């Protein structure tokens, strides 16, 4: 019976891992899965050693604070791989954990890396480690394939799996009717991230921006999305400092909420691409700890952090990063776009044009077929 050990350390990786497992099970229901992941991978049928989404870290400071937790999980997983002897190891993103894990495996079993580390932004030094430890790299951004092939790493571009996952449940008109939004009403959705540290840093900036917007536009609907891996109490504690903001909170149907909205304020990460695929114009916000930002500024080799801008090779989506994430500026620029439908539509079209570079739907199925062929050959 084939056995695969799979590791995802973040909420976004957990989603991709769950979809991949489901696709592999359709190809071969006999495959057994164990590994590290989150709630979605567990629901897909992975026997989890640890829920990594509960201890995921953001930035150098968070990693240092949780070092002993990660170390315990790391060596527990390593011991399980040696005991269980899987036929294949599948690693999803999270290079700090996964590449170190791959080095310990030393190619005793085939190693597949699904969703590449962003070495094109920073971490070029990792290409040597990848070449030594990874048997096949599966990438979801079109320009990554050439990077790895030039470095001598077997690589396949499959398209982006979010093309299959990111879909609203109804038409925009039907959703706006369901949520009691008249044609003249406007709604701004705020997505402050999927991890507690970034919610604590970014949500206050978004709420202050929303307060300024509602002061000038009292009828504006503000919709807050809450991440499933962040306790509701975290949001409660932050929101109590902004009683002047009238908003509605949502912890499910996030794609529907984003789709029906006129505009979005989004924390850097997978949510920016999800928002782009839903066709909602947005601004990107990012604020890290001082230590993380200082280190990142020295390491990052590109002038933007949002994937839409990376794919475009230019600033399409405005980015408000670190000291530039000022509520006064963000609220003013948002108000300009809300009051100018032509500008808003121009931003929407440019974002959608960039998204066309992500390939065709069916990425997860293509990844599953490739992994199945490697599994059969091993």
Domains and CATH numbers, the chain: 3-161+362-377 (3.40.50.2000), 165-358 (3.40.50.2000)
What is residue 365's predicted lDDT score, i.e. its pLDDT?
97
* Short-list 45, 46, 105, CA closest to 74: 105
What is residue 119's predicted lDDT score, i.e. its pLDDT?
78
What is residue 299's predicted lDDT score, i.e. its pLDDT?
43
Residue 197 near residue 62, CB atoms below 8 Å: yes
C-alpha–C-alpha distance, residues 206 and 159, integer Å: 32
* Contacts by 153-156, CB closer than 8 A, 24 or more apart: 153/127, 156/370
pLDDT in tens, 91-121: 999 898 999 999 999 778 999 999 998 877 6
C-alpha–C-alpha distance, residues 210 and 205, integer Å: 9
What is residue 57's predicted lDDT score, i.e. its pLDDT?
53
Residue 235 near residue 226, CB atoms below 8 Å: yes
pLDDT in tens, 295-344: 445 445 567 889 999 999 999 999 999 889 999 999 999 999 999 999 99
DSSP element (H, E) containing 91: strand 88-92
C-alpha–C-alpha distance, residues 174 and 225, integer Å: 20
- 3-class secondary structure, 280: coil
What is residue 96's predicted lDDT score, i.e. its pLDDT?
87
Sheet holding 111-114, edge to edge: 47-51, 32-37, 3-8, 88-92, 111-114, 136-139, 155-157
pLDDT in tens, 50-74: 999 876 655 445 555 666 788 999 9
C-alpha 323, offset from chain centre: 23
Please list the ranges in the chain whose pLDDT falls under 50: 59-60, 291, 293-296, 298-299
């Amino acid at each position: 019976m084939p056995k695969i050990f799979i590791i995802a350390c973040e909420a976004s990786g957990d989603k991709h891992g769950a979809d991949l497992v489901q696709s592999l099970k359709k190809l071969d229901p006999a495959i057994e899965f164990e590994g590290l992941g989150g709630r979605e991978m567990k629901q897909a049928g992975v026997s989890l050693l640890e829920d990594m989404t509960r201890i995921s870290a953001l930035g150098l400071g968070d990693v240092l604070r949780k070092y002993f937790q990660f170390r315990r999980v790391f060596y527990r997983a390593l011991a399980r791989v040696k005991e269980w002897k899987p036929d294949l190891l599948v690693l999803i993103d999270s290079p700090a954990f996964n590449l170190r894990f791959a080095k310990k495996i030393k190619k005793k079993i085939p190693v597949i890396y699904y969703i590449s580390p962003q070495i094109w932004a920073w971490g070029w030094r990792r290409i040597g480690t990848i070449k030594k430890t990874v048997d096949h790299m599966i990438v979801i951004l079109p320009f990554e394939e050439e990077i790895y092939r030039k470095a001598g790493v077997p690589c396949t571009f499959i398209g982006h799996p979010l093309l299959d996952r990111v879909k609203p449940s109804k038409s925009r008109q039907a959703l706006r009717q369901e949520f009691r939004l008249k044609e003249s009403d406007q709604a701004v959705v705020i997505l402050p991230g999927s991890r507690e540290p970034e919610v604590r840093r970014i949500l206050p900036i978004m709420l202050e921006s929303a307060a300024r917007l509602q002061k000038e536009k009292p009828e504006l609907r503000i919709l807050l999305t809450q991440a499933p891996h962040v306790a509701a109490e975290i949001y409660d504690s932050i929101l109590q400092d902004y009683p002047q903001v009238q908003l509605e909170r949502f912890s499910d149907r996030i794609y529907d909420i984003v789709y029906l909205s006129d505009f979005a304020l989004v924390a850097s990460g997978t949510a920016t691409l999800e928002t782009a695929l839903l066709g909602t114009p947005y601004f990107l916000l990012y604020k890290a700890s001082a230590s993380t930002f200082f280190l990142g500024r020295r390491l990052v080799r590109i002038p933007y952090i949002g994937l839409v801008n990376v794919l475009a090779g230019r600033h399409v989506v405005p980015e408000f990063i670190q000291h530039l994430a000022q509520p006064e500026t963000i609220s003013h620029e948002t108000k300009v776009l809300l009051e100018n439908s032509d500008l808003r539509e121009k931003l929407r079209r440019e974002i959608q044009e960039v998204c066309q570079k992500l390939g065709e739907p069916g990425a997860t199925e293509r990844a599953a077929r490739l992994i199945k062929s490697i599994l059969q050959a091993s």
